[in-house]
Structure 1
Amino acid sequence: MKPTAVRLAAIAIATFAPIATTAQSRLLVVSQRDQTFHVYDPETLTEVASAKEDGGADAGHEVIATVDGKTAFVPLYGNSGVGKPGTDGDHIQVFDIATAKPVGTIAFPHGVRPHKPIWDTHTGMLLVTTEIDKTVSVVDPRSMKVVGSIPTGAKQSHMITLLPDGKKLYSANVGPGTVSVMDVPGRKFLKTIPISSNTQRISNSNDGKWVFTADQTTPELVVIDTKTDTIAKRIKLPGVGYGTAPTVDGKSLLVTMDGQPAIAVVDLKSMEVVKSVETPKGINEVVVSPDGKFAYATSAKTDHLVRIDLGTFKVTKDVTTGKFPDGLWLTAEK
């Protein structure tokens, strides 16, 4: 659907509205194999709205919302996995979160397999991986247009993380098994860091000192020192790692393990696994609530969505969701 001028203006206002404008938090989930966008109440894990994506064969893998929690962006990646033959998605679908209704489209000039979106809070721009072009695209949410790009220097740049000062961006390059380092203000590629023959997903510590990525060839988490952009440590895991997310207090890192029925908890002072959380098998992605009390995770293998109490490190809610659920985003309650 084509957005109207009024609708675009409304989305632009929502994106940059004061943070204290939304009353309810919402948990957003995209599921790949039925190509759906879901909106949940994070307290009860009750679905409050859902919609089919408009990409035909192309499915959304990741999702992000505006700071006021009103609008969601879902890049439509394609119909295959990273590095595999298939279609190349060419747009981002925009949804109204309250109703899950599609309200607009952000188009790329050709198929780019757009994947992971993150906010650059220093500029208000949306950064989105665009794998086919070996870039991270810079999207202006006001105009709903692509306004620039940052080269990653590698293929299959799948996931990204931005340091708190907004200066350096890191991408996990799956098939090459490397991490790229980029200068965001200069929109320049700086270097690649070899990890292994295959790596997955990426995050950083809250203080920006460390970047974390999961080696897919051995059960190790790789820790990168962001001052030197070199590998500082490899942390042994109970299984091959996948996605990661730091807790709000900065003391721990949650590490999903696709082949294990558990999430590992790494102490960021000792840089060791100190406990694990029993979960359904096949957890890929995890997010932490802004208040630091809960984490939410999706199992692509079992089609489950879970809520984890970070005080007890136990699953307190477990529901079924769409087929092959992946990307998650939690809006903040104001």
Structure 2
Amino acid sequence: MKNKVRVVIILLATVAIVFAYKQTKSKGGYLAYVPNAGDGTISIIDVSANKLIDEIKVGDSVSHGIAVSYDGDKIYTGNLEDGKVFVIDVKSKEILKMIDTGRNLHGIDITPDGKYLLTTSGDLQEGEEFNYINVIDTQEDEIIKTIRSNGKSPSHIDFTKDSKFAFVNNVMSGNVSMLDIENFELISTFDVGIMPNESELSPDDKYLYVANVQDSTVSIVDIKRGREVDKIKAGEGTHGLAVSSDGRYLWTTNMFSKDVSVIDIENKEVVKTIKTNGQANHISILPNSNLAYVSNLESEDISVIDMKKYKIVNTIKIGKEPHEIKFVKNK
């Protein structure tokens, strides 16, 4: 009898452990959200399981940018050609609100303090209609300001950590505009390379690194001096970039050479090259980890790279023409 009781206790304990493990796996960690421009969807990836778990249909096409609210409860995405921003509830995956910008909708970026969402109307062509930046108040989810860009065809935006300044990449004029967030005024312009698509600040906010697609370089802009101070050759078609948490390395995605470059910032040279499955598009580093996620246009998947081993450790199939990658805590 004692043996039977002992067996039952062991079985119950095993079930409890398995249940607790499943609960831990389903909660906590991060989810990755990726807009797929080719089929108008957003892929949702459970990064702990390394698999696609859901998909949200936005429209016929979706904007290349995507943003997450400060509390992680809302996702901001958009319809590329119709110019509509969609506010999506993370839990229900339902659209809470639609904001009509009245223009093309390329970049979607949020200030670090979560107060403002900035959208851009850029495209790979020139024209007055592509030269605007919209500012959305995230409390009301309404447009409060429309800014005429001093550059041509603004794309993606990065911000200082105190949310006081924004840096807007202008793909058709070869420069970056600096925006004063408090007054919503453009205060400076930096000349960089040809077709600057994306940028990211150094951890101390002293330097801006800019990915230039057409000349396959990264521009280094000294913010205090207000100009480009150096340029580093990367892979062919440098489109996206990320800075390591220690500020020592730049990771760039190169569309034409279909690879990722790891650049030693101090020595200004490429130290590693990692081939990807297709056109390497955007790159994001998973918080508190040594993993980088790369979206690949041609192969329609995500390459997960171990940043210490410099190799792809997982590949996750998603939608058509994937672009930016944003992480949300799995509550």
TM-score range, shorter-chain basis? 0.7 to 0.9
| Pick aligned residue for 1:90 from 83, 93, 96 | 83
For residue 248 of structure 1, report the CA deviation from its aligned partner.
1.9
Task: Give the distance between the partners of 2:330 and 2:88, measured in 1 at CA.
Answer: 19
1:90-129 equivalent positions in 2, closer than 5 A? 90-108=83-101, 110=102, 112-122=103-113, 124-129=115-120
| Pick aligned residue for 2:158 from 145, 157, 161 | 161
Q: Is the 8 A contact 1:256 1:285 kept in 2?
A: yes
The residue aligned with 2:134 is 137
Larger Rg, first or second structure (1 or 2) = 2
Q: Is the 8 A contact 1:260 1:281 kept in 2?
A: no
The residue aligned with 2:220 is 223
The residue aligned with 2:76 is 73
Which digits, 9 at most, give the CA deviation of each residue in 1:252-302, with x for residues without a partner?
A: 111000012321011222222221223223111011111032111100121
- Decide whether aligned partners of structure 1 residues 238 and 155 sit closer, same or farther in structure 2, where only a CA change above 3 A counts: closer
* CA RMSD in angstroms, aligned pairs only: 2.0
The residue aligned with 1:59 is 62
- Decide whether aligned partners of structure 1 residues 118 and 71 sit closer, same or farther in structure 2, where only a CA change above 3 A counts: same
The residue aligned with 1:5 is none
For residue 333 of structure 1, report the CA deviation from its aligned partner.
5.6
Unpaired runs of at least 5, structure 2:
1-26, 123-128
Identity of aligned residues (%): 20
For residue 43 of structure 1, report the CA deviation from its aligned partner.
2.1
Where is the helix percentage greater, Structure 1 or Structure 2? 2
Q: Is the 8 A contact 2:70 2:114 kept in 1?
A: no
Amino acid at match of 2:35: V
1:234-313 equivalent positions in 2, closer than 5 A? 234-313=231-310
Secondary structure, counterpart of 1:100 in structure 2: coil
- What TM-score comes out, normalization by structure 1 length? 0.83
Amino acid at match of 1:129: T
Task: Give the distance between the partners of 2:98 and 2:146, measured in 1 at CA.
Answer: 19
Q: Is the 8 A contact 1:197 1:217 kept in 2?
A: yes
For residue 143 of structure 1, report the CA deviation from its aligned partner.
1.0
Q: Is the 8 A contact 2:193 2:217 kept in 1?
A: no
Amino acid at match of 1:160: I
Which digits, 9 at most, give the CA deviation of each residue in 1:215-254, with x for residues without a partner?
A: 3332321111111121110102232311011122222111
- Decide whether aligned partners of structure 1 residues 330 and 209 sit closer, same or farther in structure 2, where only a CA change above 3 A counts: same
For residue 214 of structure 1, report the CA deviation from its aligned partner.
2.4
Unpaired runs of at least 5, structure 1:
1-21, 79-88
Secondary structure, counterpart of 1:325 in structure 2: coil
For residue 146 of structure 1, report the CA deviation from its aligned partner.
0.7
Task: Give the distance between the partners of 1:91 and 1:283, measured in 2 at CA.
Answer: 27
Which segment drifts farther, 312-321 or 94-103?
Answer: 94-103
